[in-house]
Amino acid sequence: MGVMGVREKLPSKLQVLGSCVAAILFALLVTAANATIPPAPIGLDVDGARFAVLSSASATWKVKSNDGAFEIPKVAVQVRKAVPGATSAHERQNYAYIWARTCTAALQKVTFRATYFLLGKPKTLAVELYDTTHQSPPANQAIGSSRIYINGQLAFSASGAYINLQEMPRPQTKLFKFGYNTLDVVVVKRATKGSLGLCQNSSRPSQPLGVLVNIHGEYEAELWLSNYHPAPEEFWERVKTDENLRIPVIVGASPQNRGPSGIYKGIMVVDFLGEDLFVDETATISGTGLRNCVITQPTPGSARMVCEIFRMPPGASARASFRLKAEYAHKFDVVVTYSHADVHAATSDPQLLTNSWRRYHYVCSASSTDPRCPPP
């Protein structure tokens, strides 16, 4: 079969991939592949696109008073229970004003410690801290100072119990790491004297002293597969035969996470089209962030590999590939195979044009006179 015959045959199969139908099919593949990935840990939304660290009396939080031992905090005022079936980072968690197991009349240093699995440096960061006096800033009637540490580094402080920083890019985002993060919130309750340092505020209804913490933001990761090429790449080679060609091929793709955030879940799809294919349905995976690659042969002339992108740190790279043989059991002039790859993640991606590649591979017979073929 000549090159024109094959080129006419292949695009007819591939037109779907450039249409709206292709987008729908790819979305269905993303849904199907990600169904096997468990929901992200508490603190992230189920897809890992955003995070929220919310004060609560859960296993992720501990508290100590002065130099005592860490223990589960006490709920001073419940704001909201976790919403069953919720997908957002906020609604998946309990949310409450919390305090140490006891509140003392003497000056009291209270350290709250939260441990969360997070995805590294976020794109944006918001920070809120209040107490149950519900005062305007500096809100220092009960609490004289507040400090927030991220992985041991002082990030925010206030001379009272009032921090309200709207979500935006902030230099403190660099203090987060991919993996388990420790956040310490240290507040100092003033010694009780008159209306100062009370363990029970005078609002109506009266509420016990407690602190509310809400630290949240959005992740962003550039998931890279190839530099942008507006047209498919083309590769030409010449072989030493004019018929009965069998081409061994390694089909694969090598995604990278160029950060700044990590990726919790995503998908990579690699498709290959030829004539008659003999496919080895065994994937070879290396690097960090790819798993569970499944290879199928939808038709005699096509092969597909679908891989999960899972917990891919910023700066990580991975590769998945499989082997096949494309057979042309006839005389030929020029034959062609086509392959393409796409990657997608739930995390916001600033550069979608680098998430795919398309390639034609032309093989010229020994006697072909096509001017685009390499010389004999």
Enclosing domain of residue 167: 50-218
Residue 66 lies in a domain: yes
User: Both 208 and 240 in a single domain?
Assistant: no
Give 10's pLDDT tier (boundaries 50, 70, 90).
very low
Residue 263 lies in a domain: yes
Tens digit of pLDDT for each residue in 105-135?
999 999 999 999 999 999 999 999 999 998 8
Residue 214 lies in a domain: yes
The stretch 173-191 carries a mean pLDDT of 97
Domain end marker among 218, 239, 255: 218
Give 204's pLDDT tier (boundaries 50, 70, 90).
low
Query: Is pLDDT of 14 > 50?
Result: no
The stretch 85-104 carries a mean pLDDT of 95
Query: Is pLDDT of 245 > 50?
Result: yes
Number of domains within the chain = 2
pLDDT of residue 1: 38
Residue 280 lies in a domain: yes
Give 11's pLDDT tier (boundaries 50, 70, 90).
very low
Query: Is pLDDT of 54 > 80?
Result: yes
pLDDT of residue 30: 53
User: Both 198 and 153 in a single domain?
Assistant: yes
pLDDT of residue 34: 53
Give 35's pLDDT tier (boundaries 50, 70, 90).
low
* Gap between the Cα atoms of 295 and 235, Å rounded: 24
User: Both 10 and 125 in a single domain?
Assistant: no
Domain of 194, CATH number, reads 2.60.120
Tens digit of pLDDT for each residue in 308-354?
999 999 999 999 999 999 999 899 999 999 999 999 999 999 999 89
pLDDT of residue 231: 82
User: Both 239 and 339 in a single domain?
Assistant: yes
Burial of 24 (0-12, 13-18, 19+ CB in 10 A): exposed
Query: Is pLDDT of 190 > 50?
Result: yes
Domain end marker among 195, 218, 241: 218
Residue 256 lies in a domain: yes
Q: Torsions phi, psi of 348, nearest 5?
A: -55, 135
User: Both 280 and 209 in a single domain?
Assistant: no
Query: Is pLDDT of 6 > 80?
Result: no
User: Both 125 and 55 in a single domain?
Assistant: yes
Give 16's pLDDT tier (boundaries 50, 70, 90).
very low
Domain end marker among 203, 218, 233: 218
Query: Is pLDDT of 17 > 60?
Result: no
User: Both 213 and 226 in a single domain?
Assistant: no
Residue 265 lies in a domain: yes
CB-based burial, 337-346: b 16+ in 10 Å, e otherwise: bbbbbbbbbb
pLDDT of residue 203: 67
Query: Is pLDDT of 12 > 80?
Result: no
Give 201's pLDDT tier (boundaries 50, 70, 90).
confident
- Percent of all residues in the chain with a pLDDT value above 70, rounded to a whole number: 90
Domain of 245, CATH number, reads 2.60.40
* Gap between the Cα atoms of 161 and 18, Å rounded: 55
End-to-end Cα separation, the chain, in angstroms: 20
User: Both 106 and 233 in a single domain?
Assistant: no
Residue 371 lies in a domain: no
Residue 374 lies in a domain: no
User: Both 292 and 341 in a single domain?
Assistant: yes
The stretch 205-231 carries a mean pLDDT of 92
pLDDT of residue 100: 96
Which residue, chain included where needed, has tokens 């990600």?
Answer: 34
* Gap between the Cα atoms of 214 and 127, Å rounded: 6
The stretch 70-90 carries a mean pLDDT of 95
The stretch 95-101 carries a mean pLDDT of 96
The stretch 74-101 carries a mean pLDDT of 95
The model's pTM is: 0.85
pLDDT of residue 31: 53
Query: Is pLDDT of 2 > 50?
Result: no
User: Both 141 and 245 in a single domain?
Assistant: no
Span of 38-42, 166-170, 196-200, 292-296 with lowest mean pLDDT? 38-42
User: Both 214 and 231 in a single domain?
Assistant: no
pLDDT of residue 9: 42
Average per-residue pLDDT in the chain? 89
Give 284's pLDDT tier (boundaries 50, 70, 90).
very high
User: Both 22 and 108 in a single domain?
Assistant: no
